Amino acid sequence: MYFAALLARTEDGWEASDTELDDVETLSDLTDLARDASPDEDTVLVFIEQEDAWFGIVRVDGEDDPRIFVSDATAAARSSYGEILLTDELLGREPGAEDTIAALEELVGLDGSEDDDPDTAPDNDTDTDTDDGFDADAVPAGPLGDTRILADLGLPEAELLMLRTDALAEIADALGAAEVLETVR
């Protein structure tokens, strides 16, 4: 089960809203959604949580590039929303590198088949690619991203790294936004 919410910091405090991610396909879409939540270009946090598996935070400050933290990159890579947060840049890859590798493999026939004999291609059910296109071996285990994403808002890096279950509630509590987050949960 997934939970997604936006927390926008205003001069009156935090405002929360739940959000649907059905139409969000890229980090750019998610960033636009966050910016729309704060017309005054205040700080907006996007929380995404898969119950007891992983959580992610995207922080958008005005027109600055989004900052991302994922609690468990390997678990996120197996998630339908992991592809949004686990960008090439966050994973330390060249943008489009996987597309280039796939194109080269197809060009030189590394799948073991002849161009005129597609029925002899091996069954690749045992590979490590997930349905989201991630190679599980290429995603580092554990936390990934900006561990200081919330440090200036009251949650030090060390505490963020220790969070496990019910992490979003603990984060909201540290930010003084527990009550507003609870209204959308």
Digit-coded pLDDT (tens) for 91-141: 888 776 555 555 555 555 555 554 554 444 444 444 444 444 545 447 888
pLDDT for 152: 96
pLDDT in tens, 22-80: 889 999 999 999 999 887 889 999 999 998 899 999 999 999 999 999 999 999 999 88
**174 within 8 A of 10, measured Cβ to Cβ:** no
Whether the predicted model's global pTM rises above the 0.85 cut:
no
Region at 121 (left for phi over 0; alpha for psi -120 to 50; beta for the rest): beta
pLDDT for 20: 86
| Cα gap 56→150, rounded to integer Å | 12
Could you give the residue ranges of the DSSP H alpha helices within the chain?
A: 27-36, 73-77, 82-85, 88-91, 97-108, 157-162, 167-175, 178-182
Tokens read off for 32: 């636009």
| Cα gap 185→182, rounded to integer Å | 5
Chain-centroid distance of CA 183 in Å reads: 23
